[in-house]
Amino acid sequence: MSEAPNLILESTLEFSLEIINYTEILERAKKYNLANQLFRSGTSIGANVNEAQSCESRSDFIHKMKVAAKEAEETKYWLTLCIKADSYPKPNGVIEKLQIIIKILNKIIVSSKQVKMQ
């Protein structure tokens, strides 16, 4: 019997792969500092979501999802800088995918808190 797909796990893994590809483009353009920041925050989203899957409590789960959401907001900032900076390669479609991840994370956090209160 196979488990149902986990949308947030799949989305963040796919997003991490896109971040890897985009940061390689930034590195080829010699944009090393921003590439490093973006790589760290962008791949951290999925790492925290993955870690939340084996949490010790509901509070631990919520905390790890909140960390993932914070990393997502930081990633949005770095991507926005890339979009606005004239000399940077543009991250086509990446920020839109991140917006979806942020919405999913926020829904997970809100619904997990509601379950906790009941």
Domain chopping of the chain, boundaries = 7-117
pLDDT at 1: 47
Q: State what percent of residues in the chain have pLDDT above 90.
A: 90
30 contacts: CB under 8 Å, gap ≥ 6: none
Distance CA(60)–CA(15), nearest Å, equals: 23
Distance CA(81)–CA(75), nearest Å, equals: 10
Q: Does the domain at residues 7-117 carry the CATH identifier 1.20.1440.60?
A: yes
SS3 67: helix
pLDDT at 2: 54
The answer on pLDDT for 9 being more than 90 is: yes
pTM: 0.91
pLDDT at 117: 57
